[in-house]
Amino acid sequence: MTSNAVKAPAAPVHLWTSPAASVEADERSESASVEVLDEIRRLRRARDAVILAHNYQVPAIQDVADYVGDSLGLAQAAAKTEASVIVMCGVYFMAETAKILCPDRTVVIPDARAGCSLADSIDAEQLRAWKAEHPGAVVVAYVNTTAEVKAESDYCVTSGNAEDVVRSIPQDREILFLPDMFLGAHVERATGRNLHVWMGECHVHAGIRPDEVEERRRSNPDADLLIHPECGCTAQMVWARSAGAIGQNRSFVLSTEKMLTHARSSDRNRFLVATETGMLHRLQKELPGKRFEAADPNAVCRYMKMITPLKLRDALRDLEPRVEVDPDVAARARVAIDRMLAVPASKPSFE
């Protein structure tokens, strides 16, 4: 990596703090009355709406949603839906992606302040300046980016296809990889390519400390460690495992589906899950006979938790806040997004 990058940082580096970081999750988010949930279902029918929810949403939102998944799955679900209205229960860049894929639909997000510290670590102007320093370089952007940054990028990638995309780029081309420094370091190690890596990070993964997770593993020797490579919050864990800071014995980097398959067939009954804590809900719901615990109980994305059942009800009722993307930006971003959708996550597991 170049001067824009870090080599195997020994500890999380806090490079950016979101101004919205002080916004606390709505206390009402953890539960919702039967009346509110019934109203959500009634409004969904009346509006011909589909509710798409990220795995990190609170349980009540996940339970009422039509589809629950990761950011790639949400983009695929948006691209396929025939509903007139898409309600994105996730963070803003996910709603932008839905709007880019479905420009003729109404896209709403229950709280437009639900940003992403990783996506906000680079803006289009910064990217243009970085590109000017490396004329001719190929820009590979993780999906956690704004529409404007995607519009300046050649490829949009997920953690599952980032390695394949980097390998497919001719050796003589420089590559700018953004915005996650840990995912960039991991891809650089896995592919053997020299990358210029933007030093962005997510506030949640800045809190998941590999040394503390290893300590928790030592105290729970009967539990497997499952690392979910979704979102910036686990990129550091993926990097730490490939760097040897997390032992590879009984630790697995798995997609949600592969986590379920692994846990179902495993002779183990306890699993430490290294990702945002919202992921535990689906695992526990689908496999009630097994025990899933957070590898770091403080790994909570406050932006995801800004979406509440009451705000979802209001968004369906008012069809606000709407998500709009400038048509020129959308057309350019669509090229990078289509490339992401065309290269399926061939590596949902890093095994």
Residue 57, SS3 per DSSP: coil
Beta pairing, strands 175-178 & 196-197: parallel
Query: From the list 73, 184, 229, 232, which residue makes contact with ligand SF4 (rule: CB under 6 A)?
Result: 232
How far is it, in rounded angstroms, from Cα 189 to Cα 167? 12
User: Quick one: 170 exposed, middle or buried, by C-beta within 10 A (0-12, 13-18, 19+)?
Assistant: exposed
In the complex, the smallest distance separating the C-beta of residue 39 from ligand SF4, rounded to whole angstroms, is 27
How far is it, in rounded angstroms, from Cα 61 to Cα 57? 6
Residue 239 binds ligand SF4 (CB under 6 A): no
Which stretch, 8-16, 36-44, 231-239, 261-269, contacts ligand SF4 (CB under 6 A)?
231-239
Given the complex with ligand SF4, which of 43 and 185 has the nearer CB atom?
185
Residue 203 binds ligand SF4 (CB under 6 A): yes
Which stretch, 61-69, 199-207, 217-225, 320-328, contacts ligand SF4 (CB under 6 A)?
199-207
Which stretch, 112-120, 121-129, 183-191, 318-326, contacts ligand SF4 (CB under 6 A)?
112-120
List all residues 6 or more positions away from 329 whose beta carbon is below 8 Å from its beta carbon. 147, 148, 151
Query: From the list 29, 117, 121, 255, which residue makes contact with ligand SF4 (rule: CB under 6 A)?
Result: 117
Inter-residue contact 115 to 68 (CB < 8 Å):
no
Given the complex with ligand SF4, which of 91 and 333 has the nearer CB atom?
91
- 81 φ, ψ to 5°? -70, 150
Given the complex with ligand SF4, which of 148 and 276 has the nearer CB atom?
276
Given the complex with ligand SF4, which of 73 and 137 has the nearer CB atom?
73
Residue 141, SS3 per DSSP: strand
Closest alpha carbon to 130 in 147, 156, 152: 152
DSSP 30: G
Q: Return the residues of window 120-149 that contact ligand SF4 according to CB under 6 A.
A: 144
In the complex, the smallest distance separating the C-beta of residue 280 from ligand SF4, rounded to whole angstroms, is 14
Closest alpha carbon to 186 in 1, 60, 321: 1
Residue 53 binds ligand SF4 (CB under 6 A): no
In the complex, the smallest distance separating the C-beta of residue 301 from ligand SF4, rounded to whole angstroms, is 3
Residue 254 binds ligand SF4 (CB under 6 A): no
Number of residues that bind ligand SF4 (CB under 6 A): 15
Query: From the list 140, 204, 225, 254, which residue makes contact with ligand SF4 (rule: CB under 6 A)?
Result: 204
How far is it, in rounded angstroms, from Cα 250 to Cα 84? 45
Q: Tokens 């050649």 sit at which residue?
A: 154
Residue 200 binds ligand SF4 (CB under 6 A): no
Query: From the list 202, 295, 312, 333, which residue makes contact with ligand SF4 (rule: CB under 6 A)?
Result: 202
Helix (H) or strand (E) holding 224: strand 223-227
Query: From the list 130, 198, 303, 350, which residue makes contact with ligand SF4 (rule: CB under 6 A)?
Result: 303
Q: What is the CA radius of gyration of the chain?
A: 19
Closest alpha carbon to 239 in 285, 202, 270: 202
In the complex, the smallest distance separating the C-beta of residue 293 from ligand SF4, rounded to whole angstroms, is 19
Residue 181 binds ligand SF4 (CB under 6 A): no
Q: What dihedral do alpha carbons 228, 229, 234, 239 form, nearest 10°?
A: 120
Residue 91 binds ligand SF4 (CB under 6 A): yes
Can you give the binding site for ligand SF4, defined by CB under 6 A?
91, 116-118, 144, 202-204, 231-233, 276, 301, 303-304
